[in-house]
Amino acid sequence: MTAYPFDAPASQALLERALAVTPGGVNSPVRAFRAVGGTPRFMVSGHGPYLTDADGREYVDLVCSWGPMILGHGHPAVQQAVAAAAAKGFSFGTPSENEVALGEEIVRRVAPVEQVRLVSSGTEATMSAIRLARGYTGRSIVVKFAGCYHGHVDSLLAQAGSGVATFALPDSAGVPKEMAAETIVLPFNDLDAVEAAFAERGSEIAALITEASPGNMGVVPPAPGFTEGLRRITAAHGALLISDEVMTGFRCSEAGWFGLEAGEQGYAAGAPDLFTFGKVMGGGFPAAAFGGRADVMALLAPVGPVYQAGTLSGNPVATAAGLATLQQCTPDLYARLGEVADALTAGLDEHLSAAGVPHVVQRAGSMFSVFFRDGQVRDYDEARAQHVPAFAAFFHSMLSQGVYLPPSAFESWFVSGAHDDVAVDRVLAAIPAAASAAAEA
Ligand code: PMP
């Protein structure tokens, strides 16, 4: 395989224009490549499993827009649905049928979700779910886990994952300390810590929010019994359990994380009260949702006193894209995603081992990531104890060989139904050289 040169003149020229008008030249921090160095690639098109950059180079895409592109880029059924919806108008500011159909599809797939409200981003979904939980319980404290990212909601930025982890920030400037004081941050996979926090402040806690299976510190699945423990403890203290499935929803299985292996038994110990969704359900357009128990959702305006609204909520084009995408999310699709993840994780493990690079590959459904360290990673401290320079070397070798990975060691990798054997083989062929580069870092 021909390696691309490290420089990318057309992307660099675009970056310089972008830097003049936008902080860091990007509209979302991790895109800037700060953690890995080099020029962020400005993409001009995507087809199936491939992205093409401004310099005309093609990459196998293992980011998939950070999750939404589960069918690959430009899937014909979604393109048709979007074109048909757009032909009828872009936004009405009234209720419309597509949003009902998308709501029905979510309710049908995720058994405990009795009602949903559509919003435009995952951040909006978690922000609204937290407000609703506070309104329902009349309490204000929220418990979250270090390394989990729930969007850039003020009260949820403390020790957050994703870009906050990439840049090693403890939290964000601009969040009032009063707001931060409303958040308790605990280590993931540590039920004793959860028990202790609730024993101390249980009567003040409105909700515990967790990523159903975290993907924002790299992939760190809950240990067996952990989620059940969260359900037991929150219920005992009258706090709501919010499962953030923005990343895992409709990605890990047709029903999301809880549908992965156990099906309905996924809720054996009781279902979360509220869920948040995004990414896949918007098919690459801005659509997200929160939903759950009907008695809790009934507190939302215009029925109840908790206010929440959006000019573009339930947008007819975005909901058409989401609906068309979910309609393609069949058992066959998840079987293919699993095969692709099997092939790639096996290749990573084999070649990193052969090159003597300390590593562990972790997986949740078809989501996976590599930590450049030995031993299982169960929480954020363990995720941070990896050799980030090895990741950066690996990343750049893969990039130069035409494979686009997340430009951070603290992110999940994503595959799509469009990743055929040709695309998978291109990735597998690139891994040995990248493993050697990581070994030298
Ligand atoms: N929750 C989780 C679990 C996420 O992964 C993300 C985004 N990566 C969000 C919330 C925020 O979603 P958005 O970027 O659409 O605001």
Judged against a pLDDT cut of 60, whether residue 1 lies above it is answered with no
From the list 129, 27, 122, 34, the residue with the least C-alpha distance to 410 is 34
Ligand 1 pocket check for 402: Cβ under 6 Å? no
Read off the pLDDT of residues 275-319 as tens digits, 9 standing for 90 and up: 999 999 999 999 999 999 999 999 999 999 999 999 999 999 999
Is 68 inside a domain boundary?
Answer: no
Judged against a pLDDT cut of 60, whether residue 267 lies above it is answered with yes
Which position among 53, 55, 61, 244 bears the catalytic label?
Answer: 244
Assess whether 257 and 334 both reside in one domain.
no
Assess whether 428 and 351 both reside in one domain.
yes
> Length of the chain, please?
441
Q: Whole-angstrom Cα distance, residue 13 to residue 214?
A: 36
Judged against a pLDDT cut of 70, whether residue 147 lies above it is answered with yes
Average of pLDDT values for 202-213? 98
Give the per-residue pLDDT at 167.
Answer: 74
**C-alpha angle 268-149-263 in degrees, rounded to nearest 5:** 20
Assess whether 257 and 173 both reside in one domain.
yes
Is 210 inside a domain boundary?
Answer: yes
Is 67 inside a domain boundary?
Answer: no
Going along 372-421, which residue ranges are E strands? 403-404
Give how many domains the chain has, as a whole number. 2
Is 258 inside a domain boundary?
Answer: yes
Is 21 inside a domain boundary?
Answer: yes
Residue 177: pLDDT band (50, 70, 90) is confident
Residue 262: pLDDT band (50, 70, 90) is low
Judged against a pLDDT cut of 80, whether residue 353 lies above it is answered with yes
Judged against a pLDDT cut of 70, whether residue 265 lies above it is answered with no
Assess whether 163 and 210 both reside in one domain.
yes
Read off the pLDDT of residues 151-167 as tens digits, 9 standing for 90 and up: 999 989 888 887 777 77
Domain that residue 187 falls in: 76-328
Ligand 1 pocket check for 246: Cβ under 6 Å? yes
Ligand 1 pocket check for 410: Cβ under 6 Å? no
Ligand 1 pocket check for 244: Cβ under 6 Å? yes
Specify the pTM: 0.97
Residue 52 β-bridge partners: 45, 58
Give the per-residue pLDDT at 264.
Answer: 56
CATH number, residue 229? 3.40.640.10
Assess whether 190 and 308 both reside in one domain.
yes
Ligand 1 pocket check for 166: Cβ under 6 Å? no
Give the ipTM of the model, two decimals please.
0.99
Q: Whole-angstrom Cα distance, residue 264 to residue 262?
A: 6
Residue where a domain stops, chosen among 271, 293, 328: 328
CA-proximal residue: ligand 1, atom 12 (nearest): 122
Assess whether 336 and 420 both reside in one domain.
yes
Residue where a domain stops, chosen among 328, 361, 377: 328
Q: Whole-angstrom Cα distance, residue 36 to residue 388?
A: 9
Give the per-residue pLDDT at 279.
Answer: 98
pLDDT, the chain, mean: 95
Assess whether 48 and 85 both reside in one domain.
no
Residue 2: pLDDT band (50, 70, 90) is low
Judged against a pLDDT cut of 70, whether residue 263 lies above it is answered with no
Describe the strand order of the beta sheet including 50-53 as a list of residue ranges.
43-47, 50-53, 58-61, 403-404
Residue to substitute in 130, 144, 216 for testing ligand 1 pocket (most ligand atoms within 8 angstroms of CB) = 216
Average of pLDDT values for 326-343? 98
Which alpha helices (H) appear in 202-315, and where do they start and end?
Answer: 226-236, 294-297
Assess whether 207 and 250 both reside in one domain.
yes
Assess whether 33 and 170 both reside in one domain.
no
CATH number, residue 370? 3.90.1150.10
Cα 141 to averaged position of ligand 1 atoms, centre (Å): 21
Cα 23 to averaged position of ligand 1 atoms, centre (Å): 21
Q: Whole-angstrom Cα distance, residue 134 to residue 155?
A: 12
Contact 365, 260 (CB under 8 A): yes
Average of pLDDT values for 139-148? 97
Give the per-residue pLDDT at 172.
Answer: 84
Give the per-residue pLDDT at 159.
Answer: 86
Residue 21: pLDDT band (50, 70, 90) is very high
Average of pLDDT values for 418-430? 98
Judged against a pLDDT cut of 80, whether residue 386 lies above it is answered with yes
Question: In degrees rounded to 5, what are phi and psi of residue 60?
Answer: -75, 125
First to last CA, the chain: 22
Contact 128, 150 (CB under 8 A): no
Assess whether 86 and 210 both reside in one domain.
yes
Ligand 1 pocket check for 211: Cβ under 6 Å? yes
Q: Whole-angstrom Cα distance, residue 126 to residue 249?
A: 14
Is 4 inside a domain boundary?
Answer: no
Assess whether 263 and 365 both reside in one domain.
no
Average of pLDDT values for 353-381? 98
Which position among 136, 149, 267, 404 bears the catalytic label?
Answer: 149
Going along 278-376, which residue ranges are E strands? 288-292, 360-364, 367-371
Average of pLDDT values for 63-91? 98
From the list 26, 72, 29, the residue with the least C-alpha distance to 422 is 72
Assess whether 187 and 54 both reside in one domain.
no
Residue where a domain stops, chosen among 328, 351, 383: 328
Is 70 inside a domain boundary?
Answer: no
Give the per-residue pLDDT at 269.
Answer: 76
Give the per-residue pLDDT at 302.
Answer: 98
Give the per-residue pLDDT at 323.
Answer: 98
